[in-house]
Amino acid sequence: SQTIHQWPATLVQPVGSPLSLECTVEGTSNPNLYWYRQAAGRGLQLLFYSVGIGQISSEVPQNLSASRPQDRQFILSSKKLLLSDSGFYLCAWSPSGLAGGHTDTQYFGPGTRLTVL
């Protein structure tokens, strides 16, 4: 079965510091990968998605970037955090068209709660 991991679970960072959040998926190959941010009491905002190694699409211009150095690894980064970057960050995966299954059925990781002070 497939498993998705995110770390760290909780992070408190000062304004202006760098950020690196990591997500890995097990039990599947060539997944589509996604980063979302969820602000308190609000819906999920898609930040980035990737259909393959090195292929990243950005949905919202902002202070963040994403990379996919390996097939099942997705990293969210920032060079300098802003107060507005605080939130709950969720990584998700879906089957690719090559692997079969519904590409829009996304499965979420446990999330990272980021507080920028």
Partner 1 sequence: QKEVEQDPGPLSVPEGAIVSLNCTYSNSAFQYFMWYRQYSRKGPELLMYTYSSGNKEDGRFTAQVDKSSKYISLFIRDSQPSDSATYLCAMSEMDSSYKLIFGSGTRLLVRP
**Residues near partner 1, by CB under 8 A:** 6, 32, 34, 41-44, 46, 49, 51, 57, 59, 88, 90, 92, 94, 102-111, 113
Q: How far is the CB of 60 from partner 1 (least distance, A)?
A: 12
Q: How far is the CB of 59 from partner 1 (least distance, A)?
A: 8
Judged by CB, which is closer to partner 1: 13, or 111? 111
- What tokens does 1 get? 């079965």
How many H helices and E strands in the chain? Answer: 0, 11
Q: Beta strands 3-7 and 19-26: pairing type?
A: antiparallel
Judged by CB, which is closer to partner 1: 78, or 95? 95
Q: Beta strands 73-78 and 19-26: pairing type?
A: antiparallel
Q: How far is the CB of 74 from partner 1 (least distance, A)?
A: 14
Judged by CB, which is closer to partner 1: 3, or 16? 3
Close Cβ partners of 49 (under 8 Å, ≥ 6 residues apart): 32, 33, 34, 35, 56, 57, 59
